Chain A
Amino acid sequence: MSEEIVFDCLHAEIVNYCLDSSKDQHDLATLEYIGFTTGYRLIERLTRDVQRFKDELETMKFICTDFWTLIYKKQVDNLRTNNHGMYVVHDNAFRFLTRISPGIKQLEQAPKFVAFTCGLVRGALSNLGINSTVTAEVQTIPACRFHIEVNRN
């Protein structure tokens, strides 16, 4: 437990640092970019002992199970796809939101805490050869939904 809290604290500090240093409180680009570079480098290490991925879906499954477990200590609760490059990942208790009390006021702050993860997923997929756009949606804390749109061209 004690070592898990370290990552939560670091993440909270990264969020604070990024938003304090930029003038605009809604500028999440830096945060997303930090996530991207982290994911890009991290996936190299995490896929070291994994067999080669057959296709896109297999890669997504890896992200939702192994990758998620390593970072958020749980698997995602649901993965859906329309088989045309659109994936929706549900996490009913997203790690960075579990410590926030549910409420409308808190909901306004939620995007700050999911931006890093959007970047993380995008970076990981990008290094595995999948060019994508990742957006997040929070309707009720601590549930979170990530939309992954694969850009095929």
Chain B
Amino acid sequence: MAFCIAVIGKDNAPLYLATSDLERELDLQYHVHAALDVVEEKCLIGKGAPESKELYLGLLYSTENHKIYGFVTNSRVKFIVVIDSSNIALRENEVRAIFRNLHMLYTDAVCNPFYIPGEQLTSKKFDKAIQKLMTGNA
């Protein structure tokens, strides 16, 4: 199944991208890239509206084969998760849980004194945990 987790920085530069299917990595990257516009829109329109105050943005858009979910932290770092449409095991709650774990992992990675904020995330520990997160939901 196709599954992709991406971390995008404040300035929309990719900080981290992991895919479970290497052959389709480029295709998945396009999806993530396209999702950024939707994220921006969602953050802008909902100004003041109560539902927009949540960090979790929900389903951004879906294509024939994929569903793309988004999450924005208070520091404007975006998390994008791409899921196979055929995968019905992953419901809203599971997706939320993925984002929660992802956020936790990210904050831990940022608190590493050797990590420079804004640079790519190359931490092995972070990578391992993300891989685990992906296979755990496969």
Contact = CB atoms under 8 A, between A and B. Distances in A.
Interface of A: 40-45, 47-48, 50-54, 127-129
A129 B72 CA distance: 13
Given A127-B75, A129-B76, A52 B55 contact: yes
Nearest to B110: A44
Contact of A44 (B52, B72, B75): B75
Given A41-B117, A51-B55, A128 B72 contact: no
A44 B47 CA distance: 22
B54 A40 contact: no
A129 B10 contact: yes
B107 interface: yes
B33 interface: no
15 contacts: A40-B117, A41-B110, A41-B117, A42-B111, A43-B75, A44-B73, A45-B107, A45-B110, A48-B103, A48-B107, A50-B74, A52-B74, A54-B47, A127-B117, A128-B74
B53 A51 contact: yes
A47 B111 contact: no
Main secondary structure on chain B at its contact with chain A? loop
Contacts of A40: 117
B48 interface: yes
A45 B75 contact: no
Given A40-B117, A41-B117, A53 B111 contact: no
Given A41-B117, A51-B55, A52-B72, 16 more contacts: A41-B110, A41-B111, A44-B73, A44-B106, A44-B107, A45-B110, A45-B111, A47-B73, A47-B75, A48-B104, A51-B53, A52-B52, A54-B48, A127-B117, A128-B75, A129-B76
A47 B55 CA distance: 10
A40 to B, nearest CB: 6
